[in-house]
Structure 1
Amino acid sequence: MFSSSIRRAWLCAAMLGALSVPLAAATGTPDAHHVDHPGPHFTLAEALARAQARHPLFASYRAQLQAADGRAVQAGVRPAPALNLTVENAFGTGEISGYSAAETTLGFSQLIERGGLRDRRIETAAAGRQQVATDADIARLDLRAEVARRFVHVLSDQAQLGITREATGLATSTLAEVERRVAAARVPLAERLRAQISLERARLAEEHAEHELLSSRRHLAAATGSMQADFGLAEGDLLRLPPVADFETLLAQVQATPDLLRFASETRLRESELRLAQARRTPGLTLGAGIRRLETSDDVGLIFSASMPLFGAPRERGNILESEARLAQVGPEREQAMLKAQARLYEIWQELNHARVEVEAQRERVVPAVEQALEQTRHAYQRGRYSLLELRDAQAEWASQRRRLIEAASEYHGYLIEIQRLTGAPAPGPAATASSQP
């Protein structure tokens, strides 16, 4: 017969119609010496906060923004003045041998930028910084979604481990029942061997589930920027399915995501690059002044100079054409991204609705039915009306359908996280219990 604690666990699950992870943590997933869960329970909000504080991605983008600030500062620097010293008619031959006929000029020159070139450089640098900031927002959303996905994976593996442990308990109690029947000479010895094989397989499945949980915890730790999974049992209710808006509402939200807003930033950057290239068509003017001393007469005079590059406009034609083409490219790229996003959103939205239907069917009809069938099969086996094979099949179906319930719930949360990522909303994840709700 089953132990009373195992039987109470099933009846509780059947009445609740759910396998919430906090319940599994309390009754069905006790810590084993193979899997360590140091510290208090760990919520999704805490995982996201840890990622924000520890993950090197944020430090990387802070450095990139500082570099962009440096480029903006540098763009505003005006051309430096130049100090020139020129010596002419010195150390030649004949009358200009030596230094007696030399003419020494000390001059000062300054490049005057025209056409608003400095303003265009500053504008381009500012647009580039905005592009980096938008990329940082996109990376932040990607990381938050990754943390949420990894958190759901840990919740799922915790629940799966709880199911395998319950399956091991069922196999243990079945072996005990078979041994009693063998001792009473009611069944052959071969039936005990079959029960022992089932128990060994259950233990192997439990060990595999432990390894899966260890791996998923390590992946979650990496997503939060940690080398070690130094957090407690993940806490959340996989079977609590948050509602989702209708497709048209979600599609409208996609328009305001950083992924789409990035094209607006890129448009500003390309426009500023075009204006900068156009400003460079206007050549700068270099003005100079200085003092010249003639050694032969020991006289001093002032000199003035002005210079300007020729054919400046034609020389910038290629840069202007390139900037115009890159600006024209942004619009089609945005349309292409929007087409992909709306198609992907619709696909995920449909899959999410299907996952909800499956979760509800598994939770409300399938799992209660297999639990009832297993209990009836167990009673029939004890009375000799069913064989061990039929009992093992009922136990396997019971475990399979409970696992499928967890898988379907995990798929729902995975699709929901993808929708939240596409619409730019914070990653929701499974709700925590009331005591740890963020």
Structure 2
Amino acid sequence: MKKIVTWSVIASLAGFLFGFDTVVISGADKKLQVLWNSSDAFHGTVVMGMALWGTVFGAIFGGIPTNKIGRKKTLLWIGILFFFSAIGSALSNNPYVFAAFRFIGGLGVGASTIAAPAYISEIAPAKDRGKLVAFYQFNIVFGILMAFLSNYLLRNTGENSWRWMMGVQAFPSFIYTLFIFSIPKSPRWLLSKSRNEEARKVLALMGQESEYEEMKKEIELDNNNAALANDNIFLKKYRTPLILAFLIAFFNQLSGINAFLYYSPRIFQEAGLGESTALLSSIGIGATNLVFTLVGVFLIDRLGRKVLMYIGSVGYIISLSLVAMAFFLKWQGIAVPTFLFLFIASHAIGQGAVIWVFISEIFPNHLRASGQAFGSTTHWILAAIIPSLIPFLFSTIGPGVVFLFFAVMMVFQLLFVAFLMPETKGISLEELSKKLIKE
């Protein structure tokens, strides 16, 4: 079990790079808009938003290498993409080159949301799967915290401070890439490619060699059925997992989480805080996110996925409603930061802890990467559109209306959890497939 935990942690470090890459741009946000004299629309969609469109392409096509060359090799290439994105972004001299390198990093983010949860879910025992896959989410929020902290520490390094902010990610990217060489290939992926002896050796390393025959039998049956039916996730029998993956990803972004993480210093300044105070408050947001993600990781295999989603949904509705009121009624001081701290805690213990675990569980083995890609693509298309619109929306309809809209959407999420979402805690991947697929 110790080896499985170690390999899960290493694979989940892709989440650290995901979190760092997503949020590090927030420190350079206003500096880059002033430097390149960009309009709100151009700045939001090109300078800030291009990485998010990279995640869309990474999510759409990330299932291909994850299936073809395997989970491990895909994770290796993800580290390489992040490394070159960091170096290129830091050395860019115009918004178009900057956007191109940010797009490359986005490819890594999108692909990581497929390969890392798929890998961990396939090596983890059923009773610990939620906790181990949630390491990925923990590393996302750890990366977010480190990005906020890094931005704060580098804020006074001169007029090119943004270059240091963007370039520092090259160091963890290089270290992560080296670590990936030490993990084995997924035994389920090896069996799906009929590389049976390699799979047996990996299972022996995991102390699970006794499960080899049963796992081989289930995966061969899965593959045979797939070959006969020319299987894909859009067939009628997979409608239930497809709808579940779409809705959990849809509501994740309609909470406004990525819009908030991308623009937290700007949002705090809209609420009346100074630039340094806004950056410092962002560190507090990152720390809150980390602490409550740890709570979510601890509870996900104890209370289950649905209970955490209930807690998160109620917390979202309360906190987002309060943020909207604070902007409408012009409450100053610590009101908005306090309510946003509650918002980030609600996200961390609910959607944050659950989404990547849940999507990695609900599709059958031969379609796991494709299903993960579908859920990730839904997530990232919305994550590209919504933050790209924030500068424009804030300057036209105002932040109060934006946060009220997010609060209303979370009421619909609560209904989704209550009436559609199944509990997946403690059930093997093969059993879940039988339960959710309607032949």
Q: Name whichever structure is richer in strand by fraction.
A: 1
Shorter chain as normaliser: what TM range?
under 0.3
TM-score normalised over the length of structure 2: 0.25
TM-score normalised over the length of structure 1: 0.25
